[in-house]
Chains A and B, each alone.
Chain A
Amino acid sequence: MLEGWVIVGASFAYIGLLFAIAFYADRRADAGRSVIANPWIYSLSLAVYATAWTFYGSVGRAASDGVGFLPIYIGPTLMIVLWWLVVRKMIRIAKLNRTTSLADFVAARYGRSALIGGLVTVIAVIGILPYISLQLKAISTSFQILMEYPQIVMPAKAGALSVMQDTAFYVALFLAMFTIAFGTRQLDAAERHEGMVAAIAFESIVKLVAFLAVGVFVTFVMYDGPGDIFERAARRPDLAALMTPFGGAAGGYASWVWLTVLSMMAIMFLPRQFQVAVIENVDERHVKRAMWVFPLYMLAINLFVLPIAIGGLLHFPDNVDADTFVLTLPMARGNEALALLVFIGGLSAATGMVIVETIALSTMVCNDLVMPLVLRLRKYRLAERDLSTLLLDIRRAAIVAILMMGYFYYLLAGEAYALVSIGLISFSAVAQFGPVMIGGLYWKGATRAGALTGLTAGFLVWTYTLLLPAFAKSGWLGFGIEFLERGPFGIELLRPTQLFGLTGLDQITHAMIWSFIANVGLYIGVSVLGRQSAAEHAQATLFVDVYKQTGERGLQWRGTASASSLQTLLGRFQGPARAAELFSAYARERGLKSVEELEGDAELVRYAELQLAGTIGAASARAMVATVAQEDPLGIDEVMTILDEASQVIAYSHRLEDQQRELEAATSELKAANDRLKELDRMKDDFISTVTHELRTPLTSIRAFSEILHDNPDLDAAERQRFLGLVIKESERLTRLINQVLDLAKIESGLALWNTGELDLREIVVDAVNATSPLFRSKGVAIETAMPALVPAVVADRDRLTQVLLNLLSNAVKFCPAGTGRVQVRLAADIGGVLVEVRDNGPGISPEHQAMIFEKFRQVGDTLTQKPSGTGLGLSICRRIIGHFGGRLWVESAPGRGSVFSFVLPCPTAS
Chain B
Amino acid sequence: MKRPGRRGTQLACLFLLGCLLFNFPMLALFNVPAKILGLPVLYAYVFTVWLLLIVLLAVVMERKD
Contact (Cβ within 8 A) B43 A299? no
Q: How far is the CB of A266 from chain B (nearest CB, A)?
A: 16
Assuming the contacts A77-B18, A244-B31, asked whether A227 and B61 have C-beta atoms less than 8 A apart, the reply is no
Task: Apart from A82-B15, A256-B27, A257-B23, list 16 A-B contacts with CB within 8 A.
Answer: A67-B43, A70-B46, A77-B50, A78-B22, A81-B15, A82-B12, A84-B61, A85-B12, A230-B43, A244-B31, A244-B42, A246-B31, A253-B27, A260-B22, A292-B58, A548-B2
A-B contact list, 19 entries, CB within 8 Å = A81-B15, A85-B4, A230-B40, A231-B38, A240-B33, A245-B31, A246-B27, A246-B28, A253-B24, A253-B27, A257-B24, A260-B22, A289-B61, A292-B62, A295-B50, A295-B54, A295-B57, A299-B47, A306-B43
Chain A residues within an 8 Å CB radius of B33: 234, 240, 243-244
Q: State whether the Cβ of A288 lies closer than 8 Å to any Cβ in chain B.
A: yes
Question: Which of B2, B22, B38, B42 lies in contact with A227, CB distance below 8 A?
Answer: B38
Q: Mark B12-47, 1 if CB is under 8 A from A, else 0.
A: 101100110011100110011101011110110011
Q: State whether the Cβ of A291 lies closer than 8 Å to any Cβ in chain B.
A: yes
Question: Which of A243, A253, A257, A289 lies in contact with B40, CB distance below 8 A?
Answer: A243
Question: Which of B14, B28, B53 lies in contact with A253, CB distance below 8 A?
Answer: B28
Instruction: Give A245 to B62 CA distance when docked, in angstroms.
Output: 36
Contact (Cβ within 8 A) B28 A226? no
Assuming the contacts A85-B8, A243-B42, asked whether A299 and B28 have C-beta atoms less than 8 A apart, the reply is no
Contact (Cβ within 8 A) B51 A299? yes
Q: Which residue of A lies closest to B42 (CB)?
A: A67
Q: Which residue of B lies closest to A306 (CB)?
A: B43
Contact (Cβ within 8 A) B46 A67? yes
Q: Which residue of B lies closest to A227 (CB)?
A: B38
Q: Which residue of A lies closest to B15 (CB)?
A: A81
Q: Mark A281-305, 1 if CB is under 8 A from B, else 0.
A: 0000000110110011001000100
Chain A residues within an 8 Å CB radius of B31: 244-248
Contact (Cβ within 8 A) A226 B39? yes
Instruction: Give A244 to B44 CA distance when docked, in angstroms.
Output: 12
Assuming the contacts A85-B4, A230-B38, asked whether A74 and B50 have C-beta atoms less than 8 A apart, the reply is yes
User: Residues of B within 8 Å of A, CB-based: how many?
Assistant: 36
Q: Which residue of A lies closest to B14 (CB)?
A: A81
Contact (Cβ within 8 A) A84 B8? yes
Instruction: Give A164 to B2 CA distance when docked, in angstroms.
Output: 59
Chain A residues within an 8 Å CB radius of B50: 74, 77, 295, 299
Chain B residues within an 8 Å CB radius of A84: 7-8, 11, 61
Q: State whether the Cβ of A547 lies closer than 8 Å to any Cβ in chain B.
A: yes
Q: How far is the CB of A901 from chain B (nearest CB, A)?
A: 66
Report, nearest first, the 8 A-B pairs whose CB atoms are least far apart: A227-B38, A292-B58, A243-B40, A81-B15, A292-B57, A246-B31, A253-B24, A78-B18
Chain A residues within an 8 Å CB radius of B37: 227
Assuming the contacts A78-B19, A84-B11, A253-B27, asked whether A292 and B38 have C-beta atoms less than 8 A apart, the reply is no
Q: Which residue of B lies closest to A292 (CB)?
A: B58
Chain B residues within an 8 Å CB radius of A77: 18, 50, 53-54
Question: Which of B8, B22, B61 lies in contact with A292, CB distance below 8 A?
Answer: B61
Chain A residues within an 8 Å CB radius of B24: 253, 257
Q: How far is the CB of B57 from chain A (nearest CB, A)?
A: 4
User: Residues of A within 8 Å of B, CB-based: how many?
Assistant: 40
B38, B43, B54, most chain A CB atoms within 10 A? B54
Contact (Cβ within 8 A) A288 B61? yes
Q: Enumerate chain B interface residues (CB-CB to A < 8 A).
A: 2, 4, 7-8, 11-12, 14-15, 18-19, 22-24, 27-28, 31-33, 35, 37-40, 42-43, 46-47, 50-51, 53-55, 57-58, 61-62
Q: How far is the CB of B11 from chain A (nearest CB, A)?
A: 6
Q: How far is the CB of A254 from chain B (nearest CB, A)?
A: 9
Q: Which residue of A lies closest to B19 (CB)?
A: A78
Assuming the contacts A243-B40, A306-B43, asked whether A291 and B22 have C-beta atoms less than 8 A apart, the reply is no
Q: How far is the CB of A364 from chain B (nearest CB, A)?
A: 30
Instruction: Give A234 to B38 CA distance when docked, in angstroms.
Output: 11
Instruction: Give A84 to B65 CA distance when docked, in angstroms.
Output: 14
Chain B residues within an 8 Å CB radius of A243: 33, 40, 42-43
Contact (Cβ within 8 A) B43 A74? no
Chain A residues within an 8 Å CB radius of B22: 71, 74, 78, 260
Q: Enumerate chain A interface residues (CB-CB to B < 8 A).
A: 66-67, 70-71, 74, 77-78, 80-82, 84-85, 225-227, 230-231, 234, 240, 243-248, 253, 256-257, 260, 288-289, 291-292, 295-296, 299, 303, 306, 547-548
Q: How far is the CB of B63 from chain A (nearest CB, A)?
A: 10
Chain B residues within an 8 Å CB radius of A85: 4, 8, 11-12
Instruction: Give A66 to B11 CA distance when docked, in angstroms.
Output: 30
Instruction: Give A704 to B62 CA distance when docked, in angstroms.
Output: 91
Chain A residues within an 8 Å CB radius of B18: 77-78, 81
Q: Which residue of A lies closest to B8 (CB)?
A: A85
Chain B residues within an 8 Å CB radius of A244: 31-33, 40, 42
Contact (Cβ within 8 A) A230 B35? yes
Instruction: Give A656 to B12 CA distance when docked, in angstroms.
Output: 39
Instruction: Give A231 to B40 CA distance when docked, in angstroms.
Output: 9
Q: Which residue of B lies closest to A225 (CB)?
A: B38
Chain A residues within an 8 Å CB radius of B4: 85
Q: How far is the CB of B16 from chain A (nearest CB, A)?
A: 9
Chain A residues within an 8 Å CB radius of B14: 81
Instruction: Give A296 to B50 CA distance when docked, in angstroms.
Output: 9
Contact (Cβ within 8 A) B54 A296? yes
Chain B residues within an 8 Å CB radius of A70: 46
Instruction: Give A687 to B45 CA distance when docked, in angstroms.
Output: 93
Q: How far is the CB of B54 from chain A (nearest CB, A)?
A: 5
Contact (Cβ within 8 A) B54 A299? yes
Q: How far is the CB of B7 from chain A (nearest CB, A)?
A: 7
Q: How far is the CB of B3 from chain A (nearest CB, A)?
A: 11
Instruction: Give A66 to B27 CA distance when docked, in angstroms.
Output: 13
B15, B32, B50, most chain A CB atoms within 10 A? B50
A81, A82, A225, A296, most chain B CB atoms within 10 A? A81
Instruction: Give A849 to B32 CA distance when docked, in angstroms.
Output: 111
Contact (Cβ within 8 A) A81 B57? yes
Instruction: Give A296 to B56 CA distance when docked, in angstroms.
Output: 12
Q: How far is the CB of A230 from chain B (nearest CB, A)?
A: 6
Instruction: Give A581 to B54 CA distance when docked, in angstroms.
Output: 47
Chain B residues within an 8 Å CB radius of A288: 61-62
Instruction: Give A71 to B24 CA distance when docked, in angstroms.
Output: 13
Chain A residues within an 8 Å CB radius of B46: 67, 70, 74
Chain A residues within an 8 Å CB radius of B19: 78
Chain B residues within an 8 Å CB radius of A296: 54
Q: Which residue of A lies closest to B28 (CB)?
A: A246
Chain B residues within an 8 Å CB radius of A226: 38-39
Chain B residues within an 8 Å CB radius of A67: 42-43, 46
Instruction: Give A225 to B37 CA distance when docked, in angstroms.
Output: 12
Question: Which of A71, A74, A295, A547 lies in contact with B2, CB distance below 8 A?
Answer: A547
Chain A residues within an 8 Å CB radius of B38: 225-227, 230-231
Chain B residues within an 8 Å CB radius of A74: 22, 46, 50
Q: How far is the CB of B61 from chain A (nearest CB, A)?
A: 5
B12, B35, B40, B58, most chain A CB atoms within 10 A? B40
Chain B residues within an 8 Å CB radius of A295: 50, 53-54, 57
Instruction: Give A289 to B40 CA distance when docked, in angstroms.
Output: 32
Instruction: Give A256 to B46 CA distance when docked, in angstroms.
Output: 13
Chain A residues within an 8 Å CB radius of B53: 77, 81, 295
Instruction: Give A80 to B11 CA distance when docked, in angstroms.
Output: 10
Q: Which residue of B lies closest to A248 (CB)?
A: B31
Q: How far is the CB of A388 from chain B (nearest CB, A)?
A: 40
Chain A residues within an 8 Å CB radius of B62: 288-289, 292
Contact (Cβ within 8 A) A81 B39? no
Q: How far is the CB of B42 from chain A (nearest CB, A)?
A: 6
Instruction: Give A808 to B64 CA distance when docked, in angstroms.
Output: 68
Q: Which residue of B lies closest to A303 (CB)?
A: B47
Instruction: Give A137 to B13 CA distance when docked, in angstroms.
Output: 41
Instruction: Give A260 to B46 CA distance when docked, in angstroms.
Output: 13
Chain B residues within an 8 Å CB radius of A246: 27-28, 31
Chain A residues within an 8 Å CB radius of B61: 84, 288-289, 291-292
